[in-house]
Amino acid sequence: MKIGKGLRIATALMLTGAMLTACADKGTDNSAGNSSGKSSAAAEKKYKISAMTILYGAAPPDKSTGKKAIEDRYNIEYNYIPVASGEYNNKLGVTLASGDVPDAVLFPYLDAVYFSSINSGQFLPLESYMSDSAKYPNLAALPKDVMDSLKSNGHIYGVPRLRGIPGATLVLRKDWLDKLGLQVPTTYDELYDVMKAFSEKDPDGNGKRDTYGLAAGVSNGFPFISLMAAMHAGPSVGWVEDGQGGIVPGEFAPNNKLAVGYLAKLYKDGLIAPDFAIKKDAQIEDDFLLGKAGVVGNWGYTAFNKDRLEKARAVDPKFELVAIPPLKAPDGSEGGYVKGAGFFGVFALNKELEKDPGKLDKVLHMLDDQLGEEGATFFKWGVEGVHYKVEDGQKVVTDLGKTEGPNQYQMVNHANEGDWILVSADTPETTALKQNSFAVAMQGKPYTSQDIGLYSATNAEKGAELTQNVVDGLVMVITGHKTIDYLDQMFEDWKNRGGSKILTEMNEAWKARK
Amino acid sequence: MALPGLLYFLIYKYVPLMGVVIAFQKYKPVQGFLRSDWVGLDNFRRIFDTPEIEKYFINTAIISCYQIVFAFTVPIVIAIMLNEIRSAAFKKIAQTLLYLPHFLSWVVVAGIFYLLFQSDGQINHLLVSWGLHPINILSNKDNFRAMLVLQVIWKESGWGTIIYLAALTGIPPELYEAAKMDGAGRLRQIYHITLPGIRSTILILFILRLGSVLDVGFEQIYLMLNASVSDVGEVLDTYVYRMGVVNGDFSFTTAVGLLKGLVGMMLIVTANRLARAFGERGVY
Amino acid sequence: MNTSKKSSYFFYSANMLLLAMLALLCVLPIVNVVAMSVASLQDIVSGKFILWPKHLDFKAYSYIFNTGVFFSSLKNTVWITAVGTFVNLAVTTLLAYVCSRQRFSGRRMILFMVLFTMLFSGGMIPTYLVVKATGLMNSLWALVVPSAVSAFNMLVMREFFESIHESIIESATIDGCNDLGVFFRIVLPLSVPSLATFTLFYAVGNWNQYFAAILYLNDSSLWPLQILLRQVVLIGQSDIYSHLDSGEVIPLPVSTQMATVVLASAPIVVLYPFLQRYFVQGLTLGAVKG
pLDDT tens, position by position, A425-466:
789 999 999 999 999 999 999 999 999 888 898 998 888 889
- Work out the pLDDT band at C280, boundaries 50, 70, 90: low
- Domain chopping of chain C, boundaries: 64-289
| Cα B283 → chain centroid | 18
Of B51, B226, B242, the CB nearest to A278: B226
pLDDT of the residue at A11: 45
A327, A188 contact by CB (below 8 A)? yes
Tell me how far apart the alpha carbons of residues C262 and C277 are, in angstroms, rounded to a whole number: 25
Residue pLDDT, tens place only, A224-258: 999 999 999 999 899 999 989 999 999 999 999 99
pLDDT of the residue at C245: 45
Residue pLDDT, tens place only, A277-304: 988 888 888 899 999 999 999 898 888 9
A406, A366 contact by CB (below 8 A)? no
Kind of pairing between the strands at A394-397 and A388-391: antiparallel
Q: In this structure, are A128 and A228 located in the same domain?
A: no
Of C66, C68, C125, the CB nearest to A97: C125
Kind of pairing between the strands at A247-249 and A239-241: antiparallel
Q: In this structure, are A159 and A173 located in the same domain?
A: no
DSSP C253: P
Residue A35 has pLDDT above 80, yes or no: no
pLDDT of the residue at A190: 97
Query: Which residues is A448 bridged to in the sheet?
Result: A339
State whether C130 and B11 contact (CB < 8 Å).
yes
pLDDT of the residue at C249: 66
Q: Is residue A490 part of a domain?
A: no
Query: Looking at chain B, which residue has its C-alpha nearest residue A278?
Result: B226
pLDDT of the residue at A453: 85
Q: Which among C242, C252, C254, C255 is the top mutation candidate for probing chain A, defined by the most A β-carbons within 10 Å of its own β-carbon?
A: C242
**3-state DSSP helix/strand/coil % of chain C, to nearest 5:** 75, 0, 25
C106 touches chain A (CB under 8 A): yes
Q: Is residue A152 part of a domain?
A: yes
Q: In this structure, are A382 and A448 located in the same domain?
A: no
Tell me how far apart the alpha carbons of residues A118 and A116 are, in angstroms, rounded to a whole number: 6
Q: In this structure, are A300 and A440 located in the same domain?
A: yes
Reduce the DSSP state of residue C216 to 3 states and report it: helix
Q: What are the chain B neighbours of A19 within 8 Å (beta carbons)? A: 15, 18
**3-state DSSP helix/strand/coil % of chain B, to nearest 5:** 75, 0, 25
Phi, psi of B26 (to 5 degrees): -100, 85
Residue pLDDT, tens place only, A117-129: 888 888 999 999 9
Tell me which residue range forms the domain holding A59. Answer: 36-165+342-421
Of C12, C94, C127, the CB nearest to B5: C94
Tell me how far apart the alpha carbons of residues A387 and C145 are, in angstroms, rounded to a whole number: 40
Kind of pairing between the strands at A104-107 and A343-349: antiparallel
Tell me how far apart the alpha carbons of residues C86 and C88 are, in angstroms, rounded to a whole number: 5
Q: Which of residues 194-253 of C touch A (CB under 8 A)?
A: 210-211, 214-215, 218-223, 227-228, 230-232, 234-253
Residue pLDDT, tens place only, A159-169: 999 988 899 99
- Return the CATH fold of C64-289: MetI-like fold (1.10.3720)
pLDDT of the residue at B183: 85
Chain C contact partners (≥3 CB pairs within 8 A):
A, B
Inter-residue long-range contacts of B42-50, CB under 8 Å, 24+ positions, other chains counted:
B43/B251, B43/B252, B43/B254, B43/B255, B44/B255, B44/B259, B46/A461, B46/B243, B46/B252, B46/B255, B47/B252, B47/B255, B47/B256, B47/B259, B50/A465, B50/B239, B50/B243
Q: In this structure, are A93 and A137 located in the same domain?
A: yes
Of B219, B232, B119, C251, whose CA–CA distance to A217 is shortest?
Answer: B119
| Cα B261 → chain centroid | 15
C49, C39 contact by CB (below 8 A)? yes
pLDDT of the residue at B185: 83
Tell me how far apart the alpha carbons of residues B219 and C258 are, in angstroms, rounded to a whole number: 19
| Cα C110 → chain centroid | 26
pLDDT of the residue at B123: 83
Number of neighbouring beta carbons within 10 Å of residue A123: 26
Last residue of a domain, one of A421, A441, A472: A421
Q: What are the chain C neighbours of A438 within 8 Å (beta carbons)? A: none
Reduce the DSSP state of residue C39 to 3 states and report it: strand
In DSSP notation, B189-202 reads HIIIIIHHHHHHHH
Q: List, in order of start, the domains of chain B with CATH numbers.
A: 52-277 (1.10.3720.10)
Kindly report the average pLDDT of chain A as a whole number: 87
Q: In this structure, are A302 and A277 located in the same domain?
A: yes
pLDDT of the residue at A42: 45
Q: In this structure, are A121 and A159 located in the same domain?
A: yes
Residue pLDDT, tens place only, C96-144: 999 998 888 889 999 999 999 999 998 899 999 999 999 999 999 999 9
Q: Is residue A289 part of a domain?
A: yes
Tell me how far apart the alpha carbons of residues A85 and A512 are, in angstroms, rounded to a whole number: 33
Amino acid at B85: I
Tell me how far apart the alpha carbons of residues A321 and B108 are, in angstroms, rounded to a whole number: 30
Q: What are the chain C neighbours of A93 within 8 Å (beta carbons)? A: 124-125
Tell me how far apart the alpha carbons of residues A53 and A84 are, in angstroms, rounded to a whole number: 9
pLDDT of the residue at B136: 85
State whether A281 and C129 contact (CB < 8 Å).
no
Tell me how far apart the alpha carbons of residues A104 and C101 are, in angstroms, rounded to a whole number: 55
Q: Is residue A31 part of a domain?
A: no
Of A157, C223, C70, C237, whose CA–CA distance to B222 is shortest?
Answer: C237
Residues, chain A? 514
Give the least confident one: A15-29, A195-209, C130-144. A15-29
Of B225, C248, B247, B237, whose CA–CA distance to A219 is shortest?
Answer: B225
B228 touches chain A (CB under 8 A): yes
Q: Which among A11, A15, A79, A87 is the top mutation candidate for probing chain C, defined by the most C β-carbons within 10 Å of its own β-carbon?
A: A87
B98 touches chain C (CB under 8 A): yes
In DSSP notation, B142-154 reads GGHHHHHHHHHHH
What is the number of CB-based contacts under 8 A between chain B and chain C? 256
Q: Is residue A15 part of a domain?
A: no
Query: Looking at chain B, which residue has its C-alpha nearest residue C231?
Result: B107
Tell me how far apart the alpha carbons of residues B263 and A353 are, in angstroms, rounded to a whole number: 47
CATH number for position A299? 3.40.190.10
- Work out the pLDDT band at C247, boundaries 50, 70, 90: low
Q: What are the chain A neighbours of C46 within 8 Å (beta carbons)? A: 314-315
A456, A152 contact by CB (below 8 A)? no
**3-state DSSP helix/strand/coil % of chain A, to nearest 5:** 50, 15, 35
Q: In this structure, are A174 and A266 located in the same domain?
A: yes
pLDDT of the residue at B2: 85
Amino acid at C202: Y
Whole-number Cα distances in Å, B70 to A108, A456, B152, B155: 42, 45, 10, 13
Q: What are the chain C neighbours of A57 within 8 Å (beta carbons)? A: 231-232, 235, 249, 252
B140: left (phi over 0), alpha (psi -120 to 50) or beta: beta
C28 touches chain B (CB under 8 A): no
Of B116, B103, B102, B105, whose CA–CA distance to B147 is shortest?
Answer: B116
Q: How many degrees, rounded to 5, is the angle at CA A153 between CA A235 and CA A365?
A: 95
pLDDT of the residue at C248: 60
Query: Looking at chain A, which residue has its C-alpha nearest residue C223?
Result: A59
Q: What are the chain C neighbours of B165 within 8 Å (beta carbons)? A: 193, 197, 279
Give the least confident one: A13-17, A171-175, C35-39, C41-45. A13-17
B13 touches chain C (CB under 8 A): yes
Q: Could you tell me the sign of the dihedral formed by the alpha carbons of A148, A151, A155, A161, in that order?
A: negative
Give the least confident one: A193-207, C165-179, C204-218. C165-179
Whole-number Cα distances in Å, C101 to B117, B208, C96, C159, C196: 52, 21, 9, 11, 21
Whole-number Cα distances in Å, A296 to A172, A225, A291, A431: 7, 10, 11, 20
Q: How many degrees, rounded to 5, is the angle at CA B70 between CA B69 and CA B76?
A: 100
Query: Looking at chain C, which residue has its C-alpha nearest residue A94?
Result: C125
Tell me how far apart the alpha carbons of residues C255 and A307 are, in angstroms, rounded to a whole number: 13
B84, B193 contact by CB (below 8 A)? no
- Work out the pLDDT band at C72, boundaries 50, 70, 90: very high
Q: Please state the domain count of chain A.
A: 2
Number of neighbouring beta carbons within 10 Å of residue C38: 20
Q: In this structure, are A73 and A147 located in the same domain?
A: yes
Q: Could you tell me the sign of the dihedral formed by the alpha carbons of B230, B231, B234, B239, in that order?
A: positive
- Work out the pLDDT band at A6, boundaries 50, 70, 90: very low
pTM here?
A: 0.89
Q: In this structure, are A141 and A195 located in the same domain?
A: no
| Tens digit of each residue's pLDDT, chain B (284 residues) | 889 999 999 999 999 999 999 999 988 887 888 888 899 999 999 899 888 899 999 999 999 999 999 999 999 999 999 998 888 889 989 999 999 999 998 988 988 888 888 887 778 888 888 888 888 888 888 999 999 999 999 999 999 999 999 999 888 888 888 998 888 888 889 999 999 999 999 999 999 999 999 999 999 999 899 888 989 999 999 999 888 887 788 899 999 999 999 999 999 999 999 999 998 888 88
Reduce the DSSP state of residue A154 to 3 states and report it: coil
Residue A40 has pLDDT above 60, yes or no: no
| Cα C74 → chain centroid | 16
State whether A223 and C67 contact (CB < 8 Å).
no
Q: In this structure, are A330 and A197 located in the same domain?
A: yes
